[in-house]
Amino acid sequence: MNEGRLRVAVATPLSEELCEWIEAREPRLALIRDQSLLPPMRHPADFGGDPAFRRTPEQEARFDALLADAEVLYGIPDVDPARLARAVEANPALRWVHIMAAGGGGQVNAANLSAEQLERVRFTTSAGVHGGPLAEYAVFGVLAGAKQLPRILDQQRAHHWSGRWMMGQVSEQRVLLLGLGGIGREVARKLSLLGAHVMGVSRHQRPVEHVDEIVSPDRLHEAAGRADAVVSSLPGTAATQGMVDDALLAAMKPGVTIVNVGRGTVIDEPALIRALERGQVGLAVLDVTAVEPLDPESPLWDLPNVLLTPHTAALSESEDRLIAELFADNARRYLDGEPLLNRVNTVEFY
C-alpha cells in the first residue's frame, strides 16, 4: 500500500489526526508510525513527551528498525542529538530530517555528524511557525517597558497614589530588532502597526517589509544608542554568542527595554545583570536564558526590573498544525526537486 511513496518515519510525537492530514495533503507520502513507540504529549508541541515514558528493549529495537527504514524523519528521535547521530549512521538511505524546533541547527551541531553525513542528509527547521506568539510577546515586552510595568506594580502594591508621570508611547519610540528571520519580521509588522520606528540589524542590505531602517552589523552600536527598546530573535550560534555585551549595553539609551525571544546565549548575562542593577537597562523581558533552566541562584529571578518566562512564549494551540503544514509544503518541494525551505546552515548551525 506504501509502494512508491516517500517513506517518512514519524520520530517525534504527532497525533494520528495530523499524520492523516499530512498524507491527505501530500498523497505521495507514507508516514510510517507506531504510536506505541512515541511518548505521549502533555501539551501541544510537547515533542519530548512525557518523561516517564520508557520503551521496552523490544520496543527500542522496533523504533530503531522504523527509523532505519525511511528516507525522511519527521523530528529528531527523542529530541536527542545522540539518537539522531545513531539514526543517520544506521540508515544510509536517509536524506532529510525535519526538526520541530526553530533553532534546530544547535541540535544538528550537537550530533557531531561527519562532513559526508551533513552532505547526504538535508536538515530543515520549523523556523517561522513561532512568529505569531513570539511577536506578540515581544510587543508585550516593549509595551511593558514603555509603560514602566515594574513601577506600576510597585506603586500599586504599596497603595501609593503618586503624582502623575509620563508614560512612553510606542508610537513615538524606536525599536531595534536583532534578527530579521521569521520571528523578527513578524515583530516588525506588529510594532509598525503600533506606529514604532523599526530598525533591524541584518547582514544583508535588502529592504525588509515593515522595517524602516536596515542597520548593518558595523553600525549596531550607533543604532542601539537611538533605540528605546531592543528585541532579539537571534539564534544561538558562535557568531551571536554574547553579542549583547558590556560595550553594547553601555552604548544603549539609559532605561532601554530589552526583550529576548531568540536564544539566551546572545546576551552576556553577567553584563545584563550589571546593566539592570545600575538602571542602564530599565526592563529586561526574557523568555530565554543562557542556561536553561535558569540557575535558582541567578540574580535575574529577583531583580525588580526583570520579567522572566520559562521558554514558553512560543507555545500555542496551533504549533503542531503549523509545523505539519510546513512539513507537507516542504515534502512537496522535496518530491518535485525544488529547494527546501528552512535548510539548516551547516556552517553556522542555525
Ligand X SMILES: NC(=O)c1ccc[n+]([C@@H]2O[C@H](COP(=O)([O-])OP(=O)(O)OC[C@H]3O[C@@H](n4cnc5c(N)ncnc54)[C@H](OP(=O)(O)O)[C@@H]3O)[C@@H](O)[C@H]2O)c1
Which of the residues 33 through 92 are near ligand X (CB under 6 A)? none
**Residue 203 binds ligand X, judged by CB under 6 A:** yes
CA distances to 40, 51, 66, 347 from 87, in Å: 21, 21, 10, 21
Beta carbon of residue 289, minimum distance to ligand X (angstroms, whole number): 11
Let me know: does 342 contact 125? Beta carbons within 8 Å.
yes
Torsion over CA: 143, 148, 154, 155 (sign): negative
Secondary structure of residue 31 in the 3-state scheme: strand
Let me know if 160 is a catalytic residue.
no
Beta carbon of residue 215, minimum distance to ligand X (angstroms, whole number): 10
Let me know: does 191 contact 142? Beta carbons within 8 Å.
yes
Let me know if 277 is a catalytic residue.
no
Between 128 and 168, name the residue whose CB sits nearer to ligand X: 128
Beta carbon of residue 127, minimum distance to ligand X (angstroms, whole number): 3
Q: Which of 311, 321, 332, 343 is close enough to bind ligand X by CB under 6 A?
A: 311
Secondary structure of residue 71 in the 3-state scheme: coil
Alpha carbon distance 118, 50 (integer Å): 30
Beta carbon of residue 259, minimum distance to ligand X (angstroms, whole number): 11
Let me know if 292 is a catalytic residue.
yes
Which cell numbers in the block locate residue 314?
512560543
Per-residue DSSP letter, 48: S
Which residue's C-alpha cell is 551533513? 118
**Residue 103 binds ligand X, judged by CB under 6 A:** yes
Which residue's C-alpha cell is 529528531? 76
**Residue 237 binds ligand X, judged by CB under 6 A:** yes
Which region, judged by CB under 6 A, interacts with ligand X, from 67-75, 113-121, 122-130, 144-152?
122-130
Q: Which of 181, 191, 271, 303 is close enough to bind ligand X by CB under 6 A?
A: 181
Active-site residue identified among 17, 119, 222, 292 = 292
Position of minimal CB gap to ligand X = 181
Q: Which of 33, 98, 122, 130 is close enough to bind ligand X by CB under 6 A?
A: 130
Alpha carbon distance 257, 188 (integer Å): 16
Across the beta sheet with 256-260, the strand order is 213-215, 197-201, 174-178, 229-232, 256-260, 281-286, 306-308
**Residue 200 binds ligand X, judged by CB under 6 A:** no
- Supply the residues annotated as catalytic: 263, 292, 311
Sites of contact with ligand X (CB under 6 A): 102-103, 127-128, 130, 134, 179-184, 201, 203-204, 217, 233-237, 239-240, 261-263, 287-288, 311, 313-314, 350
